[in-house]
Amino acid sequence: MRGRAGQVPPAVCALSTALVVLAVSVPSTVAEPLPRAAATGSAARPAATGAPAAGTAPADVPGDGLNVTMDVLYATGSAAGAPPEAAGGTAGEGTGGTAAGAVPDGAAANAAEGTRTAAANAAQGTRAAASRAQCRDTAYALAGWRVKGTADWYYNPSGAPAAVSRTALAAIGSAVRSLVGASNECGLPAPFKAGQRYRGATKRTAAVSTSSRTACGTEDGHSVVAWKRLGSTALAVTCTWTRSGQVVSSDIVINTRYRWHTTRQSRCASSFDLASVLTHEWGHAFGLTHVSPSQHGTQVMASTIPACSSVRTLGAGDHRAMRTLYGVR
């Protein structure tokens, strides 16, 4: 069934060049909308059971009670989100070290090794600090729906960028397992009483338009993760169809206009971590919505994420949201 499309006027987004903006849930048809503010403070707490949290905007409910909600991930700026054809360098997995064929002398090699060690130590310290912040922050928000039983999903590999074509499915699967398995670095209980099951490859396409007017299509009873070259500036789009607070299906589209990676990169300028983005998108499919990035930026469900960053494990707030909806085993 097709949800009635609510229109959102065009707007120009003036955003940081280092951030990817994850717009909050919007009606099923938009034309490059201005992202709405994510819930902050007390509004970041869950709404009453069955009611959308502050900051969500589900589409109109048709006669049969089927409701469709779209979550759009945007990128702006040449550093944060330039498409591969617009950015310098080679798209794909980043590599570090010395250029192929070059043989550094001893002093240069020692200096290079020292630089790499210092960078690794700094990165480790940054990750440790982020992990501590994740575990202190308990803010969360709910979208107003949940998965009943097991969420079955399919993957359409057609059009996947060459750099991640062999590893994308593993990253997508890892992301949903991280969510339902309550993967965290805070010592919080796991797993949740939620299920997911990969049903295999499919030729079905995700019901998201590729035109400049991003829209959800017709619900077909299958949840599909797919790649498409979107006409809009979205990085990824999730359409979720629900009825009476229960998920009917969710489709996720990843935009092939951008660079993606699936492993940690020693050098990264404008590539996006597929597992981090998909953990966030799966969060929408299971009933979570955004929290303020300025106050809760370490949480998976923060509404912005920098290019090249990795947020693959749940923060305390993300965990509370999933535990509220599903409980733990």
Average pLDDT for 204-216: 90
Cα gap 161→260, rounded to integer Å: 8
Q: What is the mean pLDDT of the chain?
A: 75
Q: Would you state the pLDDT for residue 11?
A: 42
62 to 28, 51, 56, 113, 144: CA distances (angstroms): 12, 17, 18, 62, 17
What dihedral do alpha carbons 285, 287, 290, 296 form, nearest 10°? -110
Evaluate if residue 96 carries a pLDDT over 70.
no
pTM, to two decimals: 0.71
Return the structure tokens found at 193: 């009483």
246-255 vs 234-243, strand pairing mode = antiparallel
By C-alpha distance, which of 302, 284, 199 is closest to 241?
284
Q: What is the pLDDT of residue 10?
A: 43
pLDDT class of 175 with cuts at 50, 70, 90: very high
Q: Which residue type sits at 174?
A: S
Across the range 7-33, mean pLDDT stands at 40
Evaluate if residue 162 carries a pLDDT over 70: yes
pLDDT confidence of 303, banded at 50, 70, 90?
confident
Q: Domain segments of the chain: what residues?
A: 19-89+130-326
CB 19 within 8 A of CB 304: yes
Domain 19-89+130-326 has CATH 3.40.390.10: yes
Rounded Cα distance, 57 and 11, in Å = 17
pLDDT of the residue at 113: 52
When pLDDT is averaged across residues 171-194 and rounded to a whole number, the result is 98
pLDDT tens-place string over residues 110-161: 555 554 544 444 445 556 666 789 999 999 999 999 999 999 999 999 999 9
Q: Collect contacts of 164-170 with beta carbons under 8 A, ≥24 apart.
A: 164/92, 164/93, 164/260, 164/261, 164/262, 164/274, 167/262, 167/263, 168/227, 168/260, 168/262, 168/274, 170/262
Q: Which residues partner with 328 through β-bridges?
A: 192
What pLDDT is attached to residue 234? 78
pLDDT of residue 107: 54
Cα separation of 138 and 296, whole Å? 9
Confirm if 178 and 185 have CB atoms less than 8 A apart: no
Give the CA angle between residues 284, 10, 243 to the nearest 5°: 30
